[in-house]
Amino acid sequence: MKSKILKIIAVIILGVIGYVAYLWFMPHRNIQATKAYATIDATALVNEFLADAQKANDLYLDTEGESKVLIITGTVASISKDQLGQQVILLKKPTDKMGVSCTFTLESNSQAEGLKIGDQVNIKGVIRSGAEYDEDLDLAENVIVEKSAIVQ
Write down the pLDDT at residue 134.
Answer: 75
What's the CA angle centered on 134, arms 69 and 99, to 5 degrees?
35
Write down the pLDDT at residue 62.
Answer: 66
Residue 50 and residue 96 in contact, taking contact as beta carbons nearer than 8 Å? no
- pTM here? 0.74
Residue 116 lies inside a defined structural domain of this protein = yes
- What is the spatial distance between Cα 93 and Cα 56, in angstroms, rounded to a whole number? 21
pLDDT averages per 10-residue partition of the chain, 152 residues: 87 92 75 79 91 86 75 92 88 89 87 87 87 76 86 82
Write down the pLDDT at residue 22.
Answer: 83
In 3D space, the residue among 134, 114, 125 whose CA is nearest the CA of residue 42 turns out to be 125
Query: How many Cβ atoms are within 10 Å of 37's Cβ, its own excluded?
Result: 15
CATH number at residue 69: 2.40.50.140
Residue 30 lies inside a defined structural domain of this protein = no
Segments forming the whole domain that contains residue 63: 38-151
Residue 26 lies inside a defined structural domain of this protein = no
Residue 35 DSSP SS3: coil
